[in-house]
Structure 1
C-alpha cells in the first residue's frame, strides 16, 4: 500500500461485514452515450494543438467521488475497458469538446496496488498521476514528481468513534487523553505524526486495521481510521450490524497538512508538458469548481464504471453523492486563500516536509538533500481567477 492513507476496501458494504470479491471484468469495451452533438470549446480551452491526443490520468485508487473533478472531464460517448479498468472519452469542459480525449485509469487492484508515481515511470504515456504529498516526498529520490493542480484542498482522513460509547470525545486530543486504542493500518504516516505531536500515546496505536468494520462493531470503545467522505455514511446506512451515526475529526485539522491525490507530472517531463499544462490546468480548475456545484454527472459516471469494472471494490451511488456533498461542506474541496481552486499553499507543503520527512527517513526512505516545496508543487499553471463561487 502507498504511504498515504487509502480508502477502505469496504466502501459501499451493505448487508455483510466482510467484503467478498464479485469477479473480474470480461475485458470487453462498452460504449456509453453519444459525443456526436458536442460543440467545440472556446479557443482558450482547446487542447488539441498543445496536449497529447489522449490525456492519460492515473488514479491512486479505485473510482470514487474524491476523483470527481477528473471524472467530470469525461464526456458523453465514453468507453469502458473492463479488463484494464479504464474509461476513455472526449475531454469536455462545460459540455464542450476540448479536442482531445481523456483516459482515467483506476488504481488499487487494477495496478497491483502500485503507487501512481511508480506507474508514471513504468509507462511514460501517463500525463498526470494522483500523488499525495507524503507519497511525493517518499518517491522524490528515485521517482520525482511535481504536482501541478490540487485535486482536493485537504485530506478527508479522520479518526472516528462511537458517540454513544464516548459522548465526551470531541477531538483527537480527547482520544489521546482517554488511553483508548487507535486502530489504523500499519504504515500510515499520520499515526507517528499524532504521537510526535503529543496527541496520541504510542501505547495506544494498534496497526491491525484490515478495512473491515467488524472490529469497530464488536468493540466500539476503540477509535478507528476512516474518511469523512465515506465511513460516516457507510456505517449509518450500509453496515447492517451498525446502522447508526459515528463521530470524527479531520486529521487535516491536527497537522495532517498533505494535499491528497494532487495531480502531478514526472518532474523531468514538466518542461515538455508546459504548453499543454498552461491550458489544461485551468480546465481542470474549472472542472473542479463545476463538480463542486453540480456533482451528479460525475457521480453517475463513477457509479457506472464501478459496476462495469466488477472488482472487489464496491462503491454505492449513495456514498458518492454523500462524499461530493461532504467535500464541499467540510472544505475538503475548496478555494485557497487567494480565491483560486486547485492551487497550493507552499507553506503547507514545507510544513509537510518538516513533519513527514523525519518520519519517512526513520522508516528507511532516502529523501534527497535540500528537497523543497518548489520541487514538489508548482502554481505556474494555475489561473488565480478560477475558483468556487
Structure 2
C-alpha cells in the first residue's frame, strides 16, 4: 500500500473522530477462522483505519464450534460477518432484529467445479451424472439452479468436504468457494478444475455482510458508520495495496494458514470481482442497492426457498454503506 493512499484513508475517517477522545471498543465476530476472505477487516486494524475514526476493534474468529451470530443476538459482540442474504431474510420472518449495514462481497463466492473441458457452458452442467452438494447448498442455491437451469435434484449426493469423490469422477460437479476448493483440488488432484461462479449465472445475493442489531444502530450510529467505512477502506487497501500487514495478523490468528493459500484466495477475489464489482463500482466497496435485495428475494420465492410476504426492507439499511469512502483510496492505489 502506498504511503499516500494510507494517509488519504486516515484523513477521510479522522474528520469523523472526536479529538482526544478514548477509542470505543467493539467486537466483530466472523463466520469462520481467520483467512484472506477476512483480509479487509484485518487491514483496517493493521493500518490504523479503525482507530482514525475512533474504534478499537477486536476480531473474534468463528469456526465449527463458534456461533458468533448467537453472540450478536445476545449482545455479546457488536458486529457479525454474515454469509449471504438468506439468513437476514429468514431473521425478519422470525422477528429477529438484526440488520445488514454493508455488503463487502458483491458476489457470493460459491462455485461449482467440473473436470477440465467436461462441459462447454454452464447450462451443460445439467447433463452431468452427479452433483456433490452440502445440505445448506442443496436447500438454497441448488434449488435456484434446479428451477432456472433444470438441474436434477435426484443426482445430488452429500458433500463431505473431501474432494476425493469429485477428483475420481469426471462426470461430477462439486460445490466450493472460489477462494478455496479449486486450490485444494489442484493440490490434491493435480489438475485445475473448471470453475463456474454461481453469481455469474443468476445467484445474485450479496455476501460477507456486516450485521448488527437495530438497538446498536439506535444507540451508537457513529460507531456503526466508522466500522462500515473503515472496513470498506480496509478492503480497498487489502486488494489494491500491500496486504502483508493484514496477512501477518491473519496468520497470527490462524497459524495453519499458509502464504500460498492466502495468495490464492486474494488473487481469486480480485480475478472474479468478489469484493469489487457490480454495485460497488459505483457506490464503493461495501455498497448496496435495494434493487439487488429485491431481485434476489424474487428469485428465492420462485425457487421455493423463501415464501412471499417477508418485509425484506427491514433486513437492511443503506444509511451507512453507500458513502463511497473507498473509491478515492482505490483510485490512488491504482494510479488513476
Please report the TM-score for the alignment, with normalisation by the length of structure 2.
Answer: 0.83
Q: Is the 8 A contact 1:149 1:342 kept in 2?
A: yes
RMSD: 2.6
Q: Is the 8 A contact 2:25 2:56 kept in 1?
A: yes
- Greater fraction of residues in helix: 2
Q: Is the 8 A contact 1:344 1:377 kept in 2?
A: no
- Does the alignment pair 1:243 with 2:187? no
- Aligned residue-pair number: 310
CA-to-partner distance for each residue in 1:291-322, whole Å, 9 max, x for gaps?
A: 11132322232122111xxxxxx532211111
**Could you say what secondary structure the match of 1:354 adopts?**
helix
Q: Which has the higher contact order (CA 8 A, sep 6+)?
A: 2
Please report the TM-score for the alignment, with normalisation by the length of structure 1.
Answer: 0.73
CA-to-partner distance for each residue in 1:40-64, whole Å, 9 max, x for gaps?
A: x553253788997212101011112
Q: Is the 8 A contact 2:40 2:231 kept in 1?
A: yes
* C-alpha separation in 1, matches of 2:219 and 2:48: 23
Listed as ranges, the matches of 1:1-389 within 5 Å are: 42=11, 43-44=14-15, 46=17, 53-75=24-46, 92-93=48-49, 98-111=53-66, 114=67, 116-122=68-74, 124-131=75-82, 132-140=84-92, 141-163=94-116, 167-176=117-126, 178-188=127-137, 189-206=140-157, 208-237=158-187, 239=188, 242-294=189-241, 295-307=243-255, 314-335=256-277, 336-357=280-301, 359-361=304-306, 369-372=309-312, 374-381=313-320, 382-387=322-327, 388-389=330-331
* C-alpha separation in 2, matches of 1:326 and 1:354: 29
The more displaced of 66-75 and 135-144 is: 135-144
Could you say if the C-alpha distance between residues 173 and 144 of structure 1 is closer, same or farther in structure 2, counting changes exceeding 3 Å?
Answer: farther
Q: Is the 8 A contact 2:79 2:212 kept in 1?
A: yes
Q: Is the 8 A contact 2:26 2:58 kept in 1?
A: yes
**Could you say what secondary structure the match of 1:286 adopts?**
helix
Q: Is the 8 A contact 1:47 1:280 kept in 2?
A: no
Tell me the CA shift for residue 349 of structure 1. Answer: 1.0
Q: Is the 8 A contact 2:108 2:198 kept in 1?
A: yes
The more displaced of 193-202 and 181-190 is: 193-202
CA-to-partner distance for each residue in 1:175-200, whole Å, 9 max, x for gaps?
A: 11x24211100132111111111341
Unaligned 5+ runs, structure 1: 1-40, 76-90, 308-313
Unaligned 5+ runs, structure 2: 1-9, 332-336
